[in-house]
Amino acid sequence: MNKKIILFAAITTLGFMAFTNHSGGVYKTNTGNINFFSHTAVEDITADNHKVKTAFDAETGKLQFSVLIKDFEFPKALMQEHFNENYMESTTYPKSTFTGTIDKMSAVNLAKDGTYKSPITGKLTMKDVTKDVSTIATFVVKGGIVNAKATFTVNPTDYHIAIPKTVAAKISNEIKVSVDADYTHVH
């Protein structure tokens, strides 16, 4: 097994252990989903990652995401290969992270089934570039499960993702990123 992957797994596990040992109720999942979608007049491109690790602290609103780039799945194998090798350079930059806050955590009643909204703010890191990101998340609490959904856009050039001129018409400057995660309470 690749030493970088083992090191990444160890660091991620330690980071989540430190996060979940914080006082307060912690909710997490290792099977969150991130989808991205690029629409142009020439082509639509989409990919999903169903192995997203994410956790939030119900007391402080602190929120973390960790995503292995190679876990994004495309409808076409060639798209996936180009994404990993040419655009994201996933061997050099194996993961993307988000660290932020559920800004109005007090407005999300985790003890009562219902639908709640809160702004989310934080820092998204891809290819060692970190940018501020903000959006509105919807939380649906039902039977002890907290489903969180949010959507935001990113511009590939902001994260030093070079798009060759030969395919520039196929890839949008505004990539829609959708997050969907079912969190459970950590006991």
The DSSP result for 127-160, as a single string, is: TTEEEEEEEEEEEEEETTEEEEEEEEEE-GGGGT
What does the pLDDT read at residue 78? 93
What does the pLDDT read at residue 99? 98
Residue 58 near residue 110, CB atoms below 8 Å: yes
What does the pLDDT read at residue 138? 98
What does the pLDDT read at residue 165? 87
Could you tell me the pTM of the whole model? Answer: 0.84
Report the C-alpha gap between 64 and 57 in whole angstroms: 9
Angle of CA points 117, 114, 32, to nearest 5°: 65
How many of the other CB atoms lie within 10 Å of CB of 62? 19
Return the DSSP state at 122: E
Ordered by start, the domain boundaries in the chain are 3-185
What does the pLDDT read at residue 21? 38
**Residuewise pLDDT in 10s, the chain (187 residues):** 444 444 444 444 444 444 433 334 999 999 999 999 999 999 999 999 999 999 999 999 999 999 999 999 999 999 999 999 999 999 999 999 999 999 999 999 999 999 999 999 999 999 999 999 999 999 999 999 999 999 999 999 999 998 888 888 999 999 999 999 999 999 7
Provide the residue type at 29 as one letter.
Answer: T
- Residue 111: helix, strand or coil by DSSP? coil
Return the DSSP state at 108: -
Q: Alpha carbon of 129 to those of 46, 155, 156, 182: distances in Å? A: 22, 12, 11, 28
Residue 26 near residue 55, CB atoms below 8 Å: yes
CATH architecture of the domain covering 3-185: Beta Barrel (2.40)
What does the pLDDT read at residue 148? 98
How many of the other CB atoms lie within 10 Å of CB of 155? 12
108, with CB counted inside 10 A (0-12, 13-18, 19+), is buried
CA-based nearest residue to 55, from 118, 13, 107, 7: 13
